[in-house]
Amino acid sequence: MLSLESITNSIHAWLNNTFNPTLALLLEFVIVGTCAIGLFTVLGLVLVLMERKVSAYMQIRLGPNRVGYGGSMQTLADTLKLAVKEGLTPDGADKFLFNLAPFIVIIISMLILAPIPFAKGFQIWDMNIGVLYVSAVSSVSVIGILMAGWASNNKYSLLGAMRSGAQIVSYELSAGLSILSIIVLTGSLKISDIIASQENGWWIFKGHIPAVIAFVIFIIAVTAETNRAPFDLAEAESELTAGFHTEYSGMKFALFFLAEYVNIFIACSLGAILFLGGWMPLHIGNWSGFNHIMDFIPSSIWFISKVFFLIFVIMWFRWTFPRLRVDQLLNLEWKYLLPISMFNLLLMTLVAIMGWHF
């Protein structure tokens, strides 16, 4: 299979042969940071356009179709508009926390990117607790949201932030239990080990019914964690104007907007890694001929295809289901998803101990 590891190794070797080790390490940090910022920019432009086109398709209309070919440059025009807009700070707001909140949210999104493998051998840091790292760091983003709502000195912002906090803390439990179901099968928190364990088949197929249940619960939970419809009560336009970022404008608003879409990408990346094999091609047992054909497709294509398929599913939710009330949202988690997740984890443990998976 085509691997990008040779590219990263050649850059690492060239830097170490050209510069002293400390300077080479600093230059690697700069290169990785620049690539991450570039990826964020591209993801923001692509996913916003995808959101508009998917919504247009669902509602049988055209969507953006004026700026650029088929409206492809519309998001770039919107970005330029936000870049030249004046950033206002409301009277009575805590200026320091108000300005700090969007940076906390976007920095946390960048930190989560570290263990995500975009292709075979193409990963910033393959740490031995990769899945735990993603789960732990992503939960910190609620601090930025609560900070933005409280510092805005606006009742709509505060109410939206409190809703978001309750929502994220609640649905993290179900998402975490779904992740544990796959960790029980693999016996490792290291993302490369989880992907390697799916060489002869993805866990959503090998893990039988408990893996399918865990996958469905995971998709529902991460949809709620990223404040996406039908769980977008933190930004309920009909009630709270724009929720916790009501008072934000210009690039500060753009950072919140960008972080939301990057978080969707990262959540779907984690779903693809755990249940759909990450960059691993579709291999079926001992079907050597079929598996060999699948290996011709580059690993990066496999990963991006799986991630964007899950993103499409999450966008599909938005234009299919009506928004829930707060009580319905919390009832869904505490009365249904959490008990099912706990029982499913026990069932998956039994499957792993008895060796009933493929």
- pLDDT, one tens digit per residue, over 58-115 is 988 988 888 888 888 998 898 888 888 888 888 888 889 998 999 999 999 889 988 9
Residue 11 forms part of a structural domain: no
Which has the closest alpha carbon to 195: 139, 294, 123, 261? 123
**What is the predicted pLDDT for the residue at 306?**
95
Give, as one character, the DSSP assignment of residue 30: H
**What is the predicted pLDDT for the residue at 312?**
94
Residue 8 forms part of a structural domain: no
Average pLDDT over residues 183-203: 89
Q: Which two tokens stand for residue 107?
A: 């920095």
Structurally, the chain folds into a number of domains equal to 1
pLDDT in tens, 19-51: 888 898 899 889 888 988 898 889 989 999 999
Long-range contacts formed by 30-39: CB under 8 A, 24+ apart: 32/124, 36/110, 36/113, 36/124, 37/110, 39/113
Give burial (CB, 10 Å; 0-12/13-18/19+) of 114. Answer: middle
Strand runs labelled E in 219-334: none
Whether the predicted pLDDT of 285 surpasses 80 = no
Residue 25 forms part of a structural domain: no
Whether the predicted pLDDT of 239 surpasses 80 = no
**Which of 324-333 are b and which e, b meaning 16 or more Cβ less than 10 Å from the residue's Cβ?**
beeeebbebb
- Global pTM? 0.91
Q: Could you tell me the maximum CA-CA distance found in the chain, to the nearest angstrom? A: 68
Q: What percent of the chain has pLDDT over 90?
A: 31
Q: Which residues pair with 122 in a beta bridge?
A: 119
Residue 246 forms part of a structural domain: yes
Q: Which two tokens stand for residue 319?
A: 């234009």
**What is the predicted pLDDT for the residue at 159?**
86
Average pLDDT over residues 336-345: 94
pLDDT in tens, 126-182: 888 889 999 899 888 888 888 988 998 888 888 888 888 888 888 999 999 999 999
Whether the predicted pLDDT of 1 surpasses 60 = no
Residue 122 forms part of a structural domain: yes
Give, as one character, the DSSP assignment of residue 165: H
End-to-end CA distance of the chain: 23
Task: Give the other-Cβ count within 10 Å of 71's Cβ.
Answer: 18
How does residue 201 score in pLDDT terms, banded at 50, 70 and 90? confident
**What is the predicted pLDDT for the residue at 341?**
94
**What is the predicted pLDDT for the residue at 165?**
84
Sign of the CA dihedral running 116, 117, 122, 127: positive
How does residue 220 score in pLDDT terms, banded at 50, 70 and 90? very high
Whether the predicted pLDDT of 183 surpasses 90 = yes
Q: Which two tokens stand for residue 105?
A: 């949210």
Range of the domain at 310: 86-354
Residue 349 forms part of a structural domain: yes
Average pLDDT of the chain is 87
Residue 64 forms part of a structural domain: no
Whether the predicted pLDDT of 214 surpasses 90 = yes
**What is the predicted pLDDT for the residue at 355?**
78
Strand, helix or coil for residue 10:
helix
195: number of CA atoms within 13 Å, CB side? Answer: 26
Which has the closest alpha carbon to 220: 326, 336, 47, 140? 336
**What is the predicted pLDDT for the residue at 345?**
94
